[in-house]
Structure 1
Amino acid sequence: MPSQSASPKLAIVIHTEEEFDWNGGFNPTATEVSHGAELLAAVENLKEIGAKCTLAMDYAFVTSEQGLQCINKINADDELIRHVEFAAHLHPWVNPPLSTSFTDKVPEQFSYPGNLPEDEEYNKLSTLTKEIAKAARQSPVTYLAGRYGIGKNTPKILKKLGYKIDVSISPFVDYTHQYGPNFSRYNNDEFLTNTILYWPHTSAIVSPLPFARKYFNHSPAAYSKASLWRKVMRKIVRAKLHRLSPEGFSLTDMQNVTKYQYELGQRCFILSFHSPSVKSGLTPYVESTAQAVEFNQKVLAYANWFKNEFKGEFIKVKDHPQVPHDTI
């Protein structure tokens, strides 16, 4: 168990977005937000145990009636606002300026903002940044690309728009089969490049064997290699990729990711999930009222465990210790 002198830190990053058909492609008109009250309740419940949330908000959410109500209620509560950071989450298929070439469905390639031409990616993120600043009364400094889709022009755009932290890296994962970025060579290490701090979403290669966990953490690309002997090795050591998330993972899974990564030297963790999962029937992870209750209880149970048993502390993303506070 961690000592107080080496207290681990947890940021809860909520992908705060519209509701859409996860199997129905990228429809520019699918912008409904009906879970604002449930999201506000989840944030308030986390605040009650001292937890802090970073709401990475996309354009559809921040311009919706329920999204604005949620933002306004947070801002109106002096205690609650101290526990919340408003950040940016770019879903390019619903974020103006919209392409006149794709009115019904955006091709998967362009669902990743980093695949857009530089001026289009900039214009979309600039529009979102201004909308968040207007609605939330604070300019975002934390960025999460939709579908983790950062590209070669993203760092320059982030710097130009005043961002300080990017949480778009999804360790160990290669999305190139669906036109996305390749993160297979990344583990959970944070790094600072050209004034932008890159803090990956926490993931881990879990295995009952410590040497296997250590090997894949230090050689992340080895996990995704498709050679036969690599596949056999992964099966023998029972290696699996787990994300620090209540979506698809149990409380025990989440605790193991945290403990295993702490043993490997990680001290700053990101717990993440999509905002529609706080209400039943909106994501594949929560399809009934009972599952919604279980989901929200699991988030609170993990946060309580992190604080009380793991002796950790809660932070907003922008309060990561590597970010100079006087620049935010």
Structure 2
Amino acid sequence: MVEVARPWRPDAATAAERIDWPAAFGTRFLVFVDVEEEFDWSAPLDRRHRSTRAMRAFPAAHRRFAEAGVGLACMVDHPVAVDPASVAILAACAEDGRSEIGAQLHAWVTPPHEEVVDPITSHAGNLPLALETAKLDRLTDAIARGFGQSPRIFRSGRYGLGPHSLALLASRGYRIDSSMRALHHYGQQGGMDFRAIDAHAFRRDAMIELPLTTVDTGLAHMFGGWLHDAAGRVPHGRGVLSRLGVLNRVPLTPEGVGVADALAAIDRAVADGVRLLTFSFHSPTLEPGHTPYVRNAADRALFDRWWDRVFDRLARHGVGPTTIADVLTVLDG
């Protein structure tokens, strides 16, 4: 494992930064998809891995979301943006009037290739600002050429947002970032420390930040901050707390999160007053064999059932889907 000596840790949102959603907005949710190439998640990153064959599974998955009235925020990385077949698939999906094409910066497969690929440089925010800028510009230009318009939503691959990234994005015309995974710490993977970031949306550096929703559930959820850290210093400590129903830190994703945990997290987020819940998954998960989460047809069926149960629970809470366009209209109003 490689650990950054002092990983960047953004400050918690202040009361002034926290978005005060209008009452008419209610409580809504978004689904982000990291639309990317396939690679071996257990192997070192390699910029030669640029296959996008799994995109053939995207149209059927999109139809299923569309039938549920849910648009997809498609966060497209460079190998996908320069592949004509993938662009055609995504452009057709975006015609549903609810989905949107955004950008996802996988630093190691995005030119210019000036850095040595390793866990630290795979997080774009760790790169020199000039190189992070050059990669962002190449990605933005590729998406603009492929889809006929510049993206306005962004995610840094591996949640690799850095101290200068938000201001850089704003200068390039981006409006929304979703690179912060609430309550997570990636120092042991060469990345950032988001433990001070909770699930609530906020504004900073002229950008709207929509963190990937993560909440603490369990009997001791209110002590999640220090208890989760303390349990991490004990072998299997976090697993024990989770099994006992004491504390469980749950991101809203079908990847590695069981449906019972996801439903509990939805209940907790709503109870905590989170007004915009954000879900996320990776496009290669849609075809068995590319990610650890869907290895076979049975796993793929479980993936669909996960969403069925989640959409049902959201509906019970009166939480409906929204779109990037709607979010911006509300916040610009």
Q: Could you say which TM-score interval applies, normalised by the shorter chain?
A: 0.7 to 0.9
Query: For the Cα contact (< 8 Å) 1:7–1:267, is it kept in 2?
Result: yes
Query: For the Cα contact (< 8 Å) 1:49–1:304, is it kept in 2?
Result: no
Q: TM-score with structure 1 length normalisation?
A: 0.86
Question: Identity of counterpart residues, as a percentage?
Answer: 25
CA shift, 1:321, in A, is 6.1
Unaligned runs of 5+ in 2: 1-22
User: 2-side partners of 1:317 and 1:224: how far apart?
Assistant: 34
- Which string of whole-angstrom CA distances, capped at 9 and with x for unpartnered residues, describes residues 154-185 of structure 1? 02211111111111111111111222111112
- Among 256, 260, 267, the alignment partner of 2:264 is 256
Backbone CA RMSD of aligned residues: 2.4
CA shift, 1:64, in A, is 2.0
Aligned residue number for residue 161 of structure 1? 172
Aligned residue number for residue 76 of structure 2? 57
Q: TM-score with structure 2 length normalisation?
A: 0.85
Aligned residue number for residue 223 of structure 1? 228
User: 2-side partners of 1:196 and 1:292: how far apart?
Assistant: 35
SS at structure 2 position matched to 1:178: coil
- Which string of whole-angstrom CA distances, capped at 9 and with x for unpartnered residues, describes residues 105-161 of structure 1? x11110000001001101111111111112122211111110001111102211111
Letter in 2 for 1:253: D
- Which string of whole-angstrom CA distances, capped at 9 and with x for unpartnered residues, describes residues 87-111 of structure 1? 1100000011112x54xxx111100
- Which string of whole-angstrom CA distances, capped at 9 and with x for unpartnered residues, describes residues 231-273 of structure 1? 69x8376212111111112222211111111111111101111
Letter in 1 for 2:156: A
State how 1:1-328 maps to structure 2 within 5 Å.
7-75=26-94, 77=95, 80=96, 82-99=97-114, 102=116, 106-207=117-218, 209=219, 212-216=220-224, 220=225, 223-225=228-230, 235=241, 238-307=246-315, 309-320=316-327, 324-325=331-332
Out of 129-138 and 139-148, give the one that drifted further: 129-138
Structure 1 residue runs of 4+, over 3 Å off? 4-7, 225-228, 234-237, 321-326
Query: For the Cα contact (< 8 Å) 1:172–1:221, is it kept in 2?
Result: no
CA shift, 1:69, in A, is 2.5
Letter in 1 for 2:229: S
